[in-house]
Amino acid sequence: MIDLSTAGAAFSPVDLGALAYFIAAWVGYGLSVGRLRGRMVSLTQIMNRHRANWARQVIGRDNRVVDTQINASLQNGTAFFASTSLIALGSVLTLSRSGDDVLNMFATLPFGTVANRVTWELKVAGLAVVFVYAFFKFAWAYRLFNYAAILLGAVPSRGTASEAEMTRAVRRVAVMNVAAGGHFARGQRAFFFALAYLGWFVSPYILFVSTTGVVAVMWRRQFASGIRTALLGLGEGPDEGPLAAIEEDGE
């Protein structure tokens, strides 16, 4: 059992600074991916537009087997990651029982710092919180993809409803799909930052380095990858008003 009365004194100022940097990097990256505009739109924002374009194409198809298969593949991928997050959480809970052997192992590492049982359990608890967060995001994304499938089936066939009704139905599919994709991406982001968090078990200085490295890799993929460049070169321009609201979900 963790003694909360000693929790505040369990970490050094460097540890607290590294943790604050980790949290700020996570939050700052998430805000950047979801809210930058103009030529700085992220790869996820670009793909959100294609999600909306996909929904618009549904109007012209009476046979929507392909659309349901695409939605099912997205839902299955989400279920896989939700299961993985539970497995990771179980591993973390097992790690909390590892005892003094693991503490001694980290202390022998070149950059290792002397740790005690309280700091170890607090760090493990923090990692568990990351995976719990990831599970909730994946589970909610799975539910939203399920809702998207229902809304997809509810889109009326051409000629059975007015143009305005069909447009509203398609809009609902697009909003639900983008929202599901946003929660899925947040769950994946938690996985990436969990890798950065592991550096804290060795040293707060390693946490600084690992967090910076993870952010740099993810930032490059979103804003400087070849895929994004190719999509922009194929006609993806700056923001378009109608999709601004649903793009707030970001990555």
Q: What is the pTM of this model?
A: 0.82
Angle between helices 163-197 and 117-154 (to 10 degrees): 160
Q: Do 82 and 142 contact (CB within 8 A), yes or no?
A: yes
Sorted by where each begins, the domain ranges of the chain are 17-26+42-249
Helices (H), 58-199: 65-95, 100-107, 117-154, 163-197
Query: Residue-wise pLDDT tens for the chain (251 aa)?
Result: 445 444 555 678 998 999 999 999 999 998 888 776 666 788 888 888 888 888 888 887 777 788 888 889 999 999 999 999 999 998 888 877 765 666 666 666 565 555 667 788 888 899 999 999 999 999 999 999 999 999 888 888 777 778 788 888 889 989 999 999 999 999 999 999 999 999 988 889 999 999 999 999 999 988 888 888 888 776 554 444 434 444 444 44
What does the alpha-carbon distance between residue 77 and residue 72 come to, in Å, rounded to a whole number? 9
Nearest by Cα to 153 from 61, 247, 47, 51: 61
> What's the angle, vertex CA 142, arms to CA 198 and CA 246, rounded to 5?
95
